[in-house]
Chain A
Amino acid sequence: MKYLLIICFALSSWTANAVIETYEFSSPELEARYQTLVQELRCPKCQNQNIADSNAPISEDLRRRLYQELEAGMSDEDIVAGMVLRYGEFVRYKPARSGVTLWLWWAPWILLLGGLTLWLGVVLRSRKARVSLDSKKDQIEKLLKDHP
């Protein structure tokens, strides 16, 4: 009987703990903010992941700190500002719309505008050239007709 129990225990298995830990939030609103912020903060060690995806120890620490700060009643802006203070602008997957990162937001539009102007310029010029060529053609035909 004793052996049977031992064998039973040895063969039974328990569900393993999930890699990403879960936190008990005092309100669902905090949890929603947590879920947004873990998507927007970048893991400093594994650079192409946010801290929600990464199971690096540093991301685990950042998630824990995020949880603590949310529960302490800090605002999203203050939390992100604190992270930027520690790790630099790098930690934001959604860069701030100020300072040097403004280029990230505006450069595509500036380039698009530049391209459009260039394209418009080329199109207008070629149209004008065709018009002037057409009018020349008319002139030549007229001349040929008048002076046979």
Chain B
Amino acid sequence: MTDKGNKDYMADEKGFYGQFGGAYIPEMLYHNVEQLRQQYKPIIESASFQQEFKKLLKDYVGRPSPLYYAQRLSEIYKTNVYLKREDLNHTGSHKVNNTIGQILLAKAMGKKRIIAETGAGQHGVATATVCALMGLECVVHMGEIDVKRQMPNVLRMKMLGAQVIPSMSGSRTLKDAGNEALRDWINNPEDTFYLIGSVVGPHPYPDMVARFQSVISEEIKWQLKEKTNSELPNYVIACIGGGSNAMGAFYNFLNDTSVKLIAVEAAGKGVNTDETAASIAKGSVGIIQGAKTYLMQTNDGQIIEAYSISAGLDYPGIGPQHAHLYNIGRTQIMDATDHEALEAAFELTRVEGIIPALESSHALAALKKLKFEKSDVVVVNISGRGDKDMDTYIANMDKYCQK
């Protein structure tokens, strides 16, 4: 979880990755964010924190998550495909790695009330879960549109004791839930901890969340070593909305420049349409939710509402570290449309018996577009399971299911 001494890829003291990142926040948030910035490293680097974090990841989350050699998928793409099974984590996605880390930090800082934003509801559920585990009050902000399209997760959060507040502002999706959470924090600065779900927001969030998610690539390394005798794959592929599962999957490979790191954005109905969430393909540099990064905006600097079939990728920005890694050429950005993601989801289900989340299906869709060698080792991060997306899958079953 340290920065491995590589300053090219990591945040500087003020949270900048090259020109990206920083903390573009009004004074009303300064105290909270500064308090977190001063305390996060000493706390999470302490031996007692690490011990408790690792214990919970093992005994409660069920880590390590398997690295599975997908034989039939490998035959189709004439290469060696390994799936990193974050979908098998407790609560069904990679989000819990981060919420376990942040809840331990919140506790260490003496905070009593936890707030979070959520898109698909995976981060909301993961937050409500750790709040139940620690006996802390939990308030989740969720766009009104997402509340409607992700009802099972809303009900899960309620069952876990969280209060879900529908965000009625703006586009009423993930970015607006984030705005509402920030407003909540402004109004409740003393006892409240804002548990951000991705590598976005003002410094130190992007760095902190990346550290908590870095367990994904840490495990991939030793698991690959066991299976292939080399800890380095040729490719790591992950989907990217804000970018937390991708950052976790890339983190420990950043210095291994032979490893191609591929981030797949949600193209929605296509990057050349207005209904897309491809923040890099369609975006330009600006400030969103406290960080300088690539975002989709008008010429007047108004943030454009994103669209994707997947609520977890439906975000008009991207984490600042991803913006930097793309800018310096360390990562390659691809995109997948709704249609391509659905195709990939049904394919994985039929050939491997794994129903992936719609988000993860975007990563799988990249397999079709890349040219692999037969000997290549390709790791695809399956960030979550598809239970929450059953309504969408059912609606598209006739079109995508072969008999």
Q: Do A and B come from one complex?
A: no
